[in-house]
């Protein structure tokens, strides 16, 4: 992403706050970027938690991805609704458009998973233009903003956690994201598989028994078979998730790094999904190894 590039902002999930969206767009324009916004980005339909109809949201996302002038597609916010689009997107057309970058987190996990499976492109799990960290104040949260920009240049420093649940070092393609969304994809065409790679997990406002239920669903579906390492991000408003995380994940016998500022907390660091990464519990870090396109999935 360079000054003069065109980037798109779309709303594949919930409707953003108009003031936050305008401020987020302004932040991107301050980088010298031309910003185009999806036509339904601020729409609301009968279901108020969706930014317009499924068809309109899918059309906005597909048009942005297939626009040869657009280099990066930012999702305005999370919420709910991205998974509803997976059967409406023309994957052949999007594949023919060639690689570019999708940025988002939370509910956008559904798109990260599908873009990796259908298009084979790495995507960026990071903050969104209409989220509080980038748009609520006079200035964006500095660590979040700086790490996002560095990640878009593929020059972001490693993300450091604050605890080790199981020691070791592991390398592989990083996938994952929001635990609730990953569990919801079980039994679908885009069911996750962490075989041979690393998985990132995070969530917000989930009680321990619900975290247990979702992990158990993924375990019983075979999603963790062959996983090499686990990176645990933020668990905002989840009481104390670590007893259940230890009980469910440590029997896998792989390194588990925890307390990474990735997910819903502040600051929110950006990580590439669908690209090589390494977990090193000695340095308590998750680092990207994305040096060139050959290292993408």
**Residues belonging to the chain:** 297
Please say whether the beta carbons of 177 and 200 come within 8 A. yes
Q: What is the full DSSP assignment across 17-38?
A: PHHHHHHHHHHHHTTT-EEEE-
Pairwise CA distance, residues 157 & 147, whole Å? 8
- Would the CA dihedral through 109, 276, 267, 27 be positive or negative? negative
Question: Following DSSP, what letter does each residue of 228-297 receive, concatenated?
Answer: -EEEEEEEET-S--HHHHHHHHGGG-S-EEE--S-SSSSS---EEESBEEEEETTTTEEEE---SGGGB-
CA gap 41, 11 in Å, rounded: 5
Rounded alpha-carbon distances, angstroms, from residue 144 to 124, 191, 271: 13, 30, 11
Beta bridge partners of 204: 236
Whether 276 and 289 have beta carbons less than 8 Å apart is answered as yes
The phi, psi pair for 37, rounded to 5°, reads: -115, 135
Which of the residues are catalytic?
106, 202, 264
Torsion over CA of 25, 95, 275 and 183, rounded to 10 degrees? 80
Residue 123 to residue 111: CA distance in whole angstroms: 9
């Amino acid at each position: 992403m360079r000054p003069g590039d065109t980037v798109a902002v779309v709303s594949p999930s919930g409707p953003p706050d108009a003031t936050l969206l305008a401020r987020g767009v302004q932040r991107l324009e301050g980088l010298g970027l031309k910003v185009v916004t999806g036509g339904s980005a601020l729409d609301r339909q009968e279901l108020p938690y969706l930014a317009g109809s499924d068809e309109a949201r899918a059309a906005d996302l597909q048009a942005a991805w297939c626009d040869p002038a657009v280099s990066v597609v930012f999702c305005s916010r999370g919420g709910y609704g991205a998974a509803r689009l997976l059967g409406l997107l023309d994957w052949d057309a999007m594949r023919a458009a060639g690689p570019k970058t999708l940025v988002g987190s939370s509910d956008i996990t559904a798109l990260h998973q599908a873009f990796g499976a259908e298009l084979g492109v790495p995507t960026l799990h990071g903050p969104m233009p209409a989220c509080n960290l980038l748009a609520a104040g006079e200035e964006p949260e500095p660590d979040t903003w700086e790490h996002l920009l560095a990640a878009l240049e593929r020059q972001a420093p490693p993300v450091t956690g604050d605890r080790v649940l199981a020691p070791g070092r592991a390398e592989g393609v990083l996938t994952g994201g929001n635990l609730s969304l990953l569990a919801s994809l079980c039994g679908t065409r885009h069911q996750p598989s962490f075989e041979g790679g690393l998985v990132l997990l995070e969530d917000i406002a989930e009680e321990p028994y619900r975290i247990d239920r979702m992990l158990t669903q993924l375990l019983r579906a075979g999603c963790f078979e062959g996983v090499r390492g686990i990176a645990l991000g933020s668990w905002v408003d989840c009481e104390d998730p670590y007893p259940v995380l230890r009980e469910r994940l440590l029997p896998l016998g792989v390194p588990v790094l925890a307390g990474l500022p990735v997910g819903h907390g502040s600051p929110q660091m950006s990580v590439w999904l669908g690209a090589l990464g390494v977990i090193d519990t000695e340095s308590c870090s998750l680092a990207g190894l994305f040096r060139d396109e050959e290292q993408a999935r």
